[in-house]
Amino acid sequence: MLGTDPTGFQHFEVCMRSREELLLCILPSGAMDSGKRNLNVMSSTHLLDESYIKAMDCTVFVVTGYAVYNCPYIYAWKQSQRALKYMSNAVEPDVPLRLESTLSWTTKNVALWEMVWELISRVSWPSPQNPFAIDFDYLDRVPLPQSLFLTGALMEFLQTLWVQAEPQVSFIDQVFEDIQVLQQRHLQLMRDYTHKINVATPSG
């Protein structure tokens, strides 16, 4: 699901810039206002907007999967002053970051969510207890039928994470709790959407 534009996480947003490039926008801890977030869940092209990035004080990385290299590389694209304080080393925009997750790519299976987790941990202070926490206030504002699509996509992503993660991952129980809430919401949204369709469709 991180390979598509829909969002709904508290601590980050994503946007496909090309077939081989994903923009990952990490939002500052404790500074997220759900009311400012884009409600067009089918597109996150606002992450390309300099004014939005500046207003949100977010840090944007480019996660690449260039076929010619056969391995992921991650570059710092836009860095907030807040994030720069917590980066241990100077970051050059044209030099890929040396991350444990990307360096381990050739020796073990590394999922995209593990790279996202490492990046959030690097630039956020305090580091969130659950980097994949769902922004349920934001979901409340998304209209049907987009909200139905979004809850399904988020649920699928978290279920994949929950299956892949080791039991000792510190936030795995919180992920499971969010999965349960999303399942309940998704079922209710399906009922609401079915009722809306039935009401809008003339009988006979």
Residue 7 covered by a domain: no
Domain count, the chain: 1
Under the banding of pLDDT at 50, 70 and 90, the label for residue 37 is low
Residue 83 covered by a domain: yes
Model confidence over 78-115: pLDDT tens digits?
A: 876 555 554 555 566 678 888 999 999 888 889 999 99
Under the banding of pLDDT at 50, 70 and 90, the label for residue 45 is low
Q: What's this model's pTM, rounded to 2 decimal places? A: 0.85
Q: Which amino acid is at 39?
A: L
Model confidence over 122-143: pLDDT tens digits?
A: 888 888 999 999 999 999 999 9
Beta bridge partners of 59: 26
User: Which tokens sit at 154?
Assistant: 């988020």
Residue 127 covered by a domain: yes
CA distance 52 to 44: 11
Give the highest mean pLDDT range of 26-40, 65-79, 81-95. 65-79
Instruction: Find the length of the chain.
Output: 204
- Cite the DSSP H helix spans in the chain: 50-56, 81-84, 100-103, 112-123, 136-141, 146-164, 172-200
Domain range for 98 is 12-200
Worst-scoring range by mean pLDDT, 87-91, 164-168, 181-185? Answer: 87-91
Residue 3 covered by a domain: no
Cis omega before residue 128 (within 30°)?
no
Residue 24 covered by a domain: yes
Residue 110 covered by a domain: yes
